[in-house]
Amino acid sequence: MNGSPNIWAVILAVLLPPIGVWMVEGIGVIFLVSLILTCLAYVPGMIFSLVAVLRPDLMNGIRNR
């Protein structure tokens, strides 16, 4: 179970993408990117949020800015 994503964060990343990211990352750059993508078009926001929740190691480049 260590290192596995929270099932609720994954479900929320599909239904309400920014909320799923918020559960994992808190409010920050990744949350804002997710929010903007979701507002512009739902599917890109959902994809970005799923990547942020399932593979947080891929978000290091965004997080460190």
pLDDT of residue 61: 75
Q: How far apart, in whole angstroms, are the C-alpha atoms of residue 40 and residue 23?
A: 21
pLDDT tens-digit map of 6-46 = 888 899 999 999 999 999 889 999 999 999 999 999 999 99
User: What band does 60 get if pLDDT is binned at 50, 70 and 90?
Assistant: confident
The domain limits of the chain are 7-63
Percent of residues, the chain, with pLDDT higher than 70 = 88
Kindly give, in sequence order, each residue whose CB lies less than 8 Å from that of residue 51, ignoring residues fewer than 6 positions away: 58, 59
Kindly give, in sequence order, each residue whose CB lies less than 8 Å from that of residue 61, ignoring residues fewer than 6 positions away: none
Q: What Rg value do the Cα atoms of the chain yield, rounded?
A: 11
Query: Is residue 46 within 8 Å of residue 32, measured between CB atoms?
Result: no
pLDDT of residue 1: 42
